[in-house]
Amino acid sequence: MALPIPPNPISTIDPEAPRIANATPISNTNNPSSSGPAFIAMQKVKTNLVLRSKWAELNGAMGDLGTYIPIVLALTLSRNLNLGTTLIFTGIYNIVTGAIYGVPMPVQPMKSIAAVALADPTFSVPEIMASGILTGAVLLVLGLTGLMQLAYTLIPLSVVRGIQLAQGLSFALTAVKYVRKVQDLPKSKSLEERNWLGRTSRIGRRVKNVVFSLPSAFIVFVLGVILAFVRRPQVVREIKLGPSSIEVVKFTKHVWKEGFVKGTIPQLPLSILNSVIAVCKLTSDLFPGKDFSATSLSVTVGLMNLAGGWFGAMPCCHGAGGLAGQYKFGGRSGGCVAILGAAKLVLGFVLGSSLAHIFNQFPVGILGVLLLFAGIELAMASRDMKNKQDSFVMLICTAVSLVGSSAALGFLSGMLVFLILRLRDWTKGKPLSSFWLRGSPRL
């Protein structure tokens, strides 16, 4: 009796082998989670937050503190601004903007509103918040309607450079003042000369040489914290653990009116020019290929203030000076400001407003070092003017901005001179298309 022939293993396995081998790749390519909008967005966020260099990014995160700490501390001490709430909200802003843009996009206090609050005793926290909310609402509307993008397209480069140069020089002059003289931040005044910078003091010369030879913004900041405790060791007893209570600010019709007239109106030109238009141009200069639209920046500034203003967080915006400072000290990615945001969140939840006692002892001259380099970096962006006419417009805009202490006045003067010069060229036979040569970035 013949035995049954066993089935050929090759003949039974081979036909199934290709289907088994290809099963996994087919399921991956058909998996919606790996190609959907949510997956793509998550991958973009991860890419934006990747640190190019850990130490350089950490160093860059400190580059904007020269403007942040003095303004926030002055308002905390003089107007009872809730420092803990401000740290928490600005920390969230830092992380979100870093994830969205992928560059060290700064989050700075609105300087014009802060200046009004420090100069006017009747301009208290409700008025500060009302002005920030109204400013944010206007910027949000300008962004959503496309008017901000139109303004960016029409405003000539020479005028933008003039605003940047004025802001950079203003930062540098303020930095020198911080270094040379003792500061009364709550009153926004300079006092007597610092003894440790005196020419007759041997110790002063040594400290000065050490401070100015430090290569790292991070080391400078850590040194400032150490000196704060050395100057007044009793500050340790004033520290209280735990976050500050977050309360909803109460508004009245009078508060809204005062906030709009005294705060929003002078802040809007500065926000439009320095926080949106100048940041757009500086970003394209420092990070080729990352041409953010004025629409997106205007919307993020608007949303930040509409979110935090109701709870007492300081009105904030982006700023060309902060971007230049963080870039100067090594910031290259969104992870740079995300580190800063995480640090703010930790300090806000752990120490809250008691952190003001430490910052009050922080040597302002140390912050002047950071602010000086931020100002120089921002001012150097104006070196690309190629002809005398554009340079003249830029310098007129800068001079009027500095002398008049108003970016709006400098902008109007620069635009007027620009139009006069272009009109003169047109009468000599040049085409009208030469009025504005700068194109619009992608949306």
Q: Would you kindly state where each structural domain of the chain is located, as residue ranges?
A: 47-183+216-386
Is 15 a residue whose pLDDT tops 50? no
pLDDT category at 124 given cuts 50, 70, 90 is very high
pLDDT beyond 50 at 25: no
Residue 20 pLDDT greater than 90, yes or no: no
Q: What is the pLDDT of residue 21?
A: 41
203 — pLDDT class (breaks 50, 70, 90)? low
Q: For the chain, how big is the Rg over CA atoms in Å? A: 27
Look at residue 22 and tell me whether its pLDDT is greater than 70: no
Lowest mean pLDDT among 181-190, 316-325, 352-361: 181-190
Residue 237: per-residue pLDDT: 87
Model pLDDT, residue 12: 42
At residue 393, does pLDDT exceed 80?
yes
In this predicted structure, which of 202-206, 276-280, 309-313, 335-339 has the lowest mean pLDDT?
A: 202-206
Q: What is the pLDDT of residues 225-249, one digit of tens each?
A: 888 888 888 888 888 888 888 899 9
pLDDT tier at 439, thresholds 50, 70, 90: very low
Q: What is the pLDDT of residue 443?
A: 38
Residue 196 has pLDDT above 70, yes or no: no
Q: Which residues contact 246 (CB under 8 A, 6 or more apart)?
A: 82, 84, 85, 88, 311, 312
How do residues 277-286 score in pLDDT, each as one tens digit?
A: 999 999 999 9
Residue with tokens 């439009």: 272
* Average pLDDT of the residues of the chain: 83
209 C-beta neighbours (distance < 10 Å), count: 9
Closest CA to 64 of 324, 297, 284: 324
